[in-house]
Amino acid sequence: MATGTLDDRGIIVACPHCGQKNRFAYERLGQAVRCAACKTTLSPLAEPIEVDSSAHFDALVAHSSLPVVVDYWAPWCGPCHMVAPEIQKVAARQAGRFLVVKVNTDALSDLGQRFGIRSIPTLAVFGGGRELARTSGARPASDIEAFVEQATSKVRI
């Protein structure tokens, strides 16, 4: 399965067929993308994306056409490692419905401070350019999905 990286305008994914890099624009994340080189239809991201900069994070949450599930974590945090496979399951099962990203609060301490993340793991849901809900502590994938469904049920994204 392809992994993605963020840039200012979208998620960059290498085509699994030919290796061409393609961009899934943030504004059209739920829509099918065809590879610019070989025209293969690229499936939606089914893995969590590691956020590499706060500028890319801001661009994503401001423009994403899908709800964004954020896993705030750090390498030294035991419960974060327990929740990681559950986050992966959510990304795989909800591909094309939610986008799942991970924020390493050691590497991106400015984001952790700006959003007032005091304990990890913390899960947050962003939609329509703002944070809709957050919860802390490790939990199974089905609980995470229920949390996201509830957070996004009241808003149109």
Is 77 labeled as catalytic in the residue annotation? Answer: yes
Written as six digits, the tokens of 149 are 């469904």
Q: Is 37 in the site for Zn ion (CB under 5 A)?
A: yes
The amino acid that residue 34 corresponds to is: R
Q: Is 15 in the site for Zn ion (CB under 5 A)?
A: yes
Q: Is residue 120 within 8 Å of residue 105, measured between CB atoms?
A: yes
For 93-131, letters b (16+ CB in 10 Å) and e give ebbebbbbbbbbbeebeebbeebebeebbbbbbbbeeee
- Region of 15-23, 62-70, 73-81, 125-133 interacting with Zn ion (CB under 5 A): 15-23
Select from 13, 35, 70, 141 the one that contacts Zn ion (CB under 5 A): 35
Give the nearest distance from C-beta 121 to Zn ion in angstroms.
35
Which are the catalytic amino acids? 77, 80
Instruction: Give residues in contact with Zn ion (CB under 5 A).
Output: 15, 17-18, 20, 35, 37-38, 40
